[in-house]
Amino acid sequence: MIRRTQAERSDETTARLVRAARELFGAGGYADTSIDAVAAAAGVTKGAAYHHFGGKPALFRAAFVAELETVDAELLRVAAEERDPWAALRRGCRTFLGHCLDPGFRQIVLLDGPSVLGWETVRAIEHEHMLRVLLDGLRLAVAVGQAPDGDLPARAQLVFGALCEGGMLLARSADPAADLPRLAAEADRFLEALRL
């Protein structure tokens, strides 16, 4: 029998709590999800949840980060599949909007995130994930002559803001899957205005 270290057991408990938090916050929202319910779904005690996260806001933050890490990995995969930097940017934007159809992502990132974590914290976390990928894509497009040089961090913020607004439109739509093609087409038009 292989014995796990305390650190391995702690990491496993943390991962179980984050998985359960993503599921429950994503399905029921922050206000209607208790830390007791998350602990029960993770198969741990409420005390263990408090030990690892200190409270519901920190647990929600971990779920928020995990949602962004999932999208970040998908965006990096999409970018790696494209040889053309501009095609990678367009596909990445469509991928982000497509991910906004996921009910858990919509609830945690788009609807609850700003009110629970605050705008500055949300943007700081997003900068480490999706916004960083977008900025890298814009830099590559400039480097190969597909986009004009300029204040790329500001441009990335503007593009990301537009995509987030598109995500909010999908989050509040009665039929987000039906609205996605229209919004993705508008995102393409927006991007084309930035191209050389």
Pick 189 or 11 by higher pLDDT: 189
Average the pLDDT over 33-38 and give the result: 97
pLDDT band at 5 (very low <50, low <70, confident <90, very high): confident
| pLDDT tens profile 44-86 | 999 999 999 999 999 999 999 999 999 999 999 999 999 999 9
Backbone angles phi and psi of 75, in degrees to 5: -65, -40
Rounded CA separation 170/177 (Å): 8
User: Which pLDDT score is estimated for 171?
Assistant: 87
pLDDT band at 116 (very low <50, low <70, confident <90, very high): very high
Rounded CA separation 190/85 (Å): 16
User: Which pLDDT score is estimated for 1?
Assistant: 59
The tokens for 124 are 């700081």
User: Which pLDDT score is estimated for 121?
Assistant: 96
Contact 117, 131 (CB under 8 A): no
Average the pLDDT over 116-131 and give the result: 92
User: Which pLDDT score is estimated for 69?
Assistant: 96
Coil, strand, or helix at residue 125? helix
Mean pLDDT across the chain, nearest whole number? Answer: 94
Rounded CA separation 130/136 (Å): 10
124 has pLDDT over 70? yes
Nearest residue to 13 via CA among 59, 82, 74 = 59
Give the predicted TM-score (pTM) of the model: 0.90
Backbone angles phi and psi of 2, in degrees to 5: -90, 130
Contact 97, 167 (CB under 8 A): yes
pLDDT band at 114 (very low <50, low <70, confident <90, very high): very high
Rounded CA separation 109/114 (Å): 8
Amino acid at 72: D
Rounded CA separation 100/169 (Å): 10
Contact 43, 16 (CB under 8 A): yes
Lowest mean pLDDT among 27-31, 93-97, 171-175: 171-175
Contact 113, 105 (CB under 8 A): no
User: Which pLDDT score is estimated for 4?
Assistant: 72
Rounded CA separation 196/192 (Å): 8
